[in-house]
Amino acid sequence: MDIFDYLLSLYYGFVFASVISFANVFTSRCKKAFYEKSRKNISNKWKYILSGRSKCDHCNSSITFIYLIPVFGYLFSLRKCTKCKQNISISYFIEETIAFMYGFVFFYITKKYNVHYHILTIFMIFYFFICYFISSIDFTYFLIPTEAIFSIFILSIMEYFLIDNKIQFILWISIPITWFALLHLINYFMPGKLGLADIHLIFALCLATAFPGSLFLPTIASFIAIIYFFIRYRKEQWNTARLTKIPFGLFLCIAFILLKLIPSSYIF
């Protein structure tokens, strides 16, 4: 890895961190504009979502530009709002740091194994943003916006046809359709086990993952979900946990993001 590749990886890492920083604000405002009680007081919802500076969660004052720099802004502010001196949640720093590391690694791996590394990285930036949005909404409200699923569907089609893809069309489309049909069949005989939005998201993410990763996406997501619930609930709470709703969209997005790091040649 030469110095130019290293700098490009750092650049894309910073882009991913910036995207997550924006996605955090975008998602938070979407929740207030469309899902919370405050939505009734917001007349022009999209203007509220897309305009205005980021503000402190405590005092609602605008944040100075230098403190909006992903990862470093949290360190520059000494973890406190410069106006009200209240502590800033470390979750912002953790999310941006993870996004930075992911962007760095994704570009490095993609450049090594695919000649279309710039285009693939740009597509992944959009996927990353949408997955963050879906994960946050599903974790909070147990629902997945149809617009987000449709966005992934459109991106996956664009990615497949814009890139000189070695994956045969029949393999690319057959696995998502198989999962779609199988899960609808399971849902028919065991209603309520899986939401329709989850099934639609699986279809869209399988298209975006492509063969052979699409074979394993729902299984990996289920495995991550099982680990999450074993960690979250103690043994004596297991009966309660079984009745708890599962934000499966969150685990599907995590599985998708992990699978996108693995070159196809490493799977088969």
Q: Contact at 8 Å (CB) between 72 and 66? A: no
* pLDDT recorded at residue 211: 87
**Contacts of residue 101, Cβ cutoff 8 Å, sequence gap at least 6:** 13
* pLDDT recorded at residue 135: 96
35's enclosing H/E stretch is none
Token code pair at residue 56: 């402190």
**Eight-class DSSP state of 62:** B
Q: Going from the first residue of the chain to its last (268 residues), give the mean pLDDT of each consecutive group of 10, the final group possibly shorter.
A: 84 95 92 86 85 77 80 83 81 93 94 86 96 95 94 95 77 93 89 86 95 93 89 61 76 96 63
The type of residue at 221 is A
CA distance linking residue 111 with residue 105, whole number of Å: 10
Q: Which 3 state secondary structure label does DSSP give 115?
A: coil
CA distance linking residue 39 with residue 246, whole number of Å: 25
Peptide bond into 191 cis (omega under 30): no
Domain ranges in the chain are 1-113, 125-268
* pLDDT recorded at residue 46: 85
CA distance linking residue 181 with residue 199, whole number of Å: 9
Q: Contact at 8 Å (CB) between 11 and 104? A: no
**Contacts of residue 119, Cβ cutoff 8 Å, sequence gap at least 6:** 159, 162, 163
Peptide bond into 212 cis (omega under 30): yes
Q: Which 3 state secondary structure label does DSSP give 87?
A: strand
